[in-house]
Amino acid sequence: MPTKYSRTRFFPLSLFFICLGMLPDNWTQAAVKVSSRDGLVSLDSGAVTLKLRLASDGSVLFNSFRLNKGGPDWAGQESAVVFNILSESIKAIGISGESVIRHKSYSKERAERGGTALKIQFEHGPSKLAGDLFITAYPGSPVIDWRMVLRNEGRATIKALSVFDPVSLGLSSAGPLFAHWVTRNSYGLHSAEIRDALTVDGGNWNGPNAAGWLALENRGQGAFMVAGIEWERQWAFDFKRGIASKEVRFSGGLRRGATVDLALGASVESPRIFVGLALGDLDTAANVSRDYLQSYVLPKPLPNFPFVCYDIWSTEGTNVQERIRQEAEFAAKKLGVEVFYQDSAWYRDSDVLNKERWGVGLGSYAEDKRKLPNGLRGLSESVRGRGMKFGLWVCPEMVDVTIMEREKLPDRWMTKVNGQFNLQSIGGWNPMKMLCLGTPEVEAHLRKELFRIIAEYKLDWLKWDASGLPGIDIVCDRADHGHQAGNGSQAAVLGKYRLLDEIHKKYPKLIIEQCSYGTRLDYGMARHGSRVNWLSDSTAPSSHVRDNVLAAAYVLPSSHNMTWIMRDDEVTKPQTPAFLDTMFRSRMMGSFGFGTLHGSLSERVSLYPPEVIEAAIRNVANYKKYRHLLLEHVFHLTPPAQPKNWQAVQFSARNGAEAAAFFFRNGSTNQTRQWPLRGLDPQRNYEAISLNSGGRKTVAGADLMKDGLTILLDQDLEQSEVIWLKSVGKKR
C-alpha cells in the first residue's frame, strides 16, 4: 500500500532500496529518497533533487531542480507547477489557487523498472476533475519521468478536454537559454535562442517534424536540461518567456488529435515525458538521455546486438522462392548476415509484374503461393537452418480495397475525415484505405493475425511499417467505431502501443523494427518493444547517410538507428578500395543491413561487383568487432552536415575501457588532421588499432585526450579510417 500524506501535515519518509537491472557505469546505485520539511517535498535520486512546495492554499510550487553534484538551480521564482489542463470549463497553468485546482495528498509508490514515484493527487473543485501526477525517479539517474492520469469524478461530462500536459515548469532564465533539437523529416540538428516563445513540434502522421528529444542549454553555466516525450506525433514542447518575471515556462504534451469529452467515470492519461539535467556540452547531455533510455525505456539488448541484416523482397512472378533461398545461403556463408528477412509482397495477390507495387494485396496475411510455393514456413526453416534469424515485413494499417471483402475488412473499420474515407490512389496500383487502430475491432483483428504469423513462421524479427497516404494528416474524426471525433489520433497511437506491448510481452526476444516515414525515432514505440529504428529510404550517397546517422545519434543509441546498403550508383560504378570501405563504414555507425529497395531480385547483393562484395566481407568482419560500442556513449568530434569538411565521431564505452573512432575526409582538400579524443580514462593506456592498415600502437589515455591522433587520408577524397582503442594494462 502507498503511504499517504495530507496537504496540511507532513511526515518524514523512510528510505527503501530497490534492485535495479542495468545502470550505466557512471551512475551510482543509491536508493531514491522522498522526504518533507517545512512544506517542501523532495524527490532525490542520488544524482538529482526535485523540490516542490505544497502550499496551504492547495497550489504546488516549483521550488528547486538541480544536480546533487553542483550546477545551477533550474527552478524559477516558485511559480505554479506541474501541468497544464485546458477544456471548455477549465484553464489551468500549473496547480494554483487561481485555477481552483488543489492538491489533496501525496504518496510514494514503487514504479516499474526499479523506480520510485512521487504521486500527487489533485482535484478541480467545480467540475470534480480528479487526477494523479506521477513523478518517477530512478536510483542514481539524473533523469525524472512525468505522467498524469485524469478522471471525471463529477456529475457532468467535461467538454473538449484538449490539453493535459504532464509537465509545465517555470525555469530560471538567468543567462542565455538555447534549445537544441533534431528534425526527422530531413535529419538535422537545429538550435535557437529562446527570446520570447518557441515551439518544437513533432509533426503529423506521415508528416513528421521534430524527434521527441530536446536539450535546453544554459550557455553561461555549461548546463543542460534534456527532455523527451514518448509519443509518435502531434505533440509539442513549448517555451514561453514571462513578461515581467525572470523565468521561462517549459511545457510538453499533445497538441492535436487528442480532444475528448470526458464522460462520468472516464479517464485519460498523458504521454510520458522525461526531464533530466547534465553538466558539460551537448554530447554529454545526449549521453545522459541515452543512458536513461537504455536503462528504463528501451528493451534490453540481445547478445551480439546490433545484428547484420539482409532485407529482400520481390515483385516478380516466377522462381522467386528458390532465388531467395539461394540468396539466403550466400548471405550466411559469404557475408556473415545474422538476420535474413522477407520484406513486402509476400501476401496473397501481391504484385507479380515487377513494378514495385508493394500495396497490391495488402490486408491479407496469407502467403502468395505463386511466389512462395513452399510457403513462409519453408522459407523460415531454410533461413534458420543456415544459422540466421528470420523476419517478416508487415504494414498493418493499410489495406488494398480490392481484397477487403475476401478478408472481411469492413468499411466501418476505416479512417475518415469530414465524412470521406482516407483513400490513396497511385497510378497502376489498387486504391488503399487505412485501418483505424483506435477501433477495438481493428486492434483485435491485428492481434489475431500478427500473433498467428509470429508463431506460425517462427519470426525473430518483425518489421512494422506504417507507410501510406504520404502527406495526409491522418486524424480520423469518426465517432462511430471506438473513439470520439476529436481524439482519433490519440486513440490510434494508444491502440498501436497496446498491441506492440502485448507482442513484446509474449515474445520478449522478438526484434521489432520501426519502419516508416511518419514514425521515425519514436520513444513510444521504443518503450513498447521496438529495438531498431529504420532511418530512411534515402540510402545514398554515403555522405547523406552519414549526416542522417550523426543527427539521429543525439536521439537514440546509434545501435538502434538502422541504415542500408542498396544497389545504387556508388555500388555499381568503379570505385577505389578506399572509397568502398567508406561506403560501408558510413552505414556501419549504427544498425546495418543489406537491402533491395525496389522489390526486384536483380538488386540482390550476390549480383554486386566482386570488389564490392569483397569490401562488404571485410567491413562486416570489422563491424562485428566494434558494434557493441554503438550502444555506448557518442561524441560528435565534428558538427553534423559539413560539406567538404572532415567528419568524425567516437563511440566510447561508459567505463572508458574501449572506443571506436570514425574519421571521414568527406571531400576535404586537407589530407591530415589532428583529433583529440573524448570519453577515455586519462589513467589508462590504450592500444590503438587501425582498421585500414592493421597497425597497432600503445598511447596513454591522457595523451589521446589532450593531443589526440594524427589521421592521414591521402588515397581518396572520400577515404576514411576507423581506430579501435582497447585499454591495456592497469591504471597508472
Can you tell me the distance from the alpha carbon of 580 to that of 609, in angstroms, rounded to the nearest whole number? 11
Same domain, 383 and 519: yes
Q: Which helix or strand (DSSP H or E) is residue 622 part of?
A: helix 610-626
For the stretch 6-11, contacts whose Cβ atoms lie closer than 8 Å and that sit 24 or more positions apart, written own/partner, are 6/105, 7/54, 7/56, 7/58, 7/102, 7/103, 7/104, 7/105, 7/106, 8/56, 10/36, 10/37, 10/39, 10/41, 10/54, 11/36
Same domain, 15 and 62: yes
Which range, of 34-38, 576-580, 590-594, 697-701, averages the lowest pLDDT? 34-38
Same domain, 34 and 132: yes
Does 480 fall in a domain?
A: no
Rounded to 5 degrees, what are φ and ψ at 302? -85, 160
Task: Check whether 72 has a pLDDT greater than 60.
Answer: yes
Same domain, 355 and 459: yes
Residue 3 to residues 14, 111, 427: CA-CA distances in angstroms? 10, 14, 63
Q: Which residue has the higher pLDDT, 308 or 22?
A: 308
For residue 105, what pLDDT is reported?
92
Rounded to 5 degrees, what are φ and ψ at 687? -90, 120
Q: pLDDT tens digit string along 524-552?
A: 999 999 999 999 988 999 999 999 999 99
Give the cell for residue 420.
Answer: 470521406
CATH number at residue 712: 2.60.40.1180
Per the confidence metrics, is the pTM higher than 0.85? Answer: yes
For residue 134, what pLDDT is reported?
96
Q: pLDDT tens digit string along 376-421?
A: 999 999 999 999 999 999 999 999 999 999 999 999 999 999 999 9
Same domain, 177 and 218: yes
508 by DSSP, 3-state: which? Answer: coil
Please give, one letter per residue, the 3-state secondary structure of 62-84. Answer: EEEEEECCCCCCCECCCCECCCE
Using alpha carbons only, give the angle 637, 638, 639 rounded to the nearest 5 degrees: 130
State CA 423 to chain mean position distance: 29
Residue 706 to residues 97, 239, 699, 701: CA-CA distances in angstroms? 55, 38, 12, 9
Q: pLDDT tens digit string along 117-163?
A: 999 999 998 999 999 999 999 999 999 999 999 999 999 999 999 99
CA atoms within 13 A on the CB side of 8: 1
Give the cell for residue 393.
Answer: 515485413
CATH number at residue 526: 3.20.20.70
**Domain edge (last residue) among 627, 659, 675:** 627
Does 423 fall in a domain?
A: no
119 by DSSP, 3-state: which? Answer: strand
For residue 207, what pLDDT is reported?
85
For residue 20, what pLDDT is reported?
31
| Per-chain mean pLDDT for the chain | 92
Does 427 fall in a domain?
A: no
Can you tell me the distance from the alpha carbon of 582 to that of 93, in angstroms, rounded to the nearest whole number? 52
Same domain, 254 and 400: no
User: Contact 209/203 with Cβ under 8 angstroms?
Assistant: yes
User: What's the domain range around 680?
Assistant: 633-728
Q: Which residue has the higher pLDDT, 242 or 575?
A: 575
Task: Check whether 4 has a pLDDT greater than 60.
Answer: no
User: Contact 488/522 with Cβ under 8 angstroms?
Assistant: no
Same domain, 285 and 329: no
**Domain edge (last residue) among 296, 318, 335:** 296
* Total domains, the chain: 3
Does 336 fall in a domain?
A: yes
For residue 569, what pLDDT is reported?
95
Same domain, 691 and 650: yes
Does 302 fall in a domain?
A: no
Task: Check whether 165 has a pLDDT greater than 50.
Answer: yes
**Domain edge (last residue) among 627, 643, 666:** 627
Give the cell for residue 545.
Answer: 547517410
CATH number at residue 95: 2.70.98.60
Same domain, 596 and 683: no
Q: pLDDT tens digit string along 269-305?
A: 999 999 999 999 999 999 999 999 999 999 999 999 9
User: What count of residues does the chain have?
Assistant: 732
For residue 470, what pLDDT is reported?
60
139: which DSSP letter?
T
Does 428 fall in a domain?
A: no
For residue 25, what pLDDT is reported?
41
Rounded to 5 degrees, what are φ and ψ at 350? -75, 175
Residues of the chain with pLDDT > 90: what percent? 83
Does 463 fall in a domain?
A: yes
Which range, of 27-36, 325-334, 387-396, averages the lowest pLDDT? 27-36
Same domain, 238 and 320: no
Can you tell me the distance from the alpha carbon of 195 to that of 240, in angstroms, rounded to the nearest whole number? 9
Same domain, 511 and 374: yes
State CA 676 to chain mean position distance: 30
Same domain, 387 and 257: no
Q: Stretch 223-250: mean pLDDT, rounded?
A: 90
Task: Check whether 3 has a pLDDT greater than 60.
Answer: no
Does 639 fall in a domain?
A: yes
Residues of the chain with pLDDT > 70: what percent? 93
Give the cell for residue 459.
Answer: 519470426
Q: Stretch 551-567: mean pLDDT, rounded?
A: 96
User: Contact 177/217 with Cβ under 8 angstroms?
Assistant: yes
CB-count burial class (<10 Å; 0-12, 13-18, 19+) for 369:
exposed
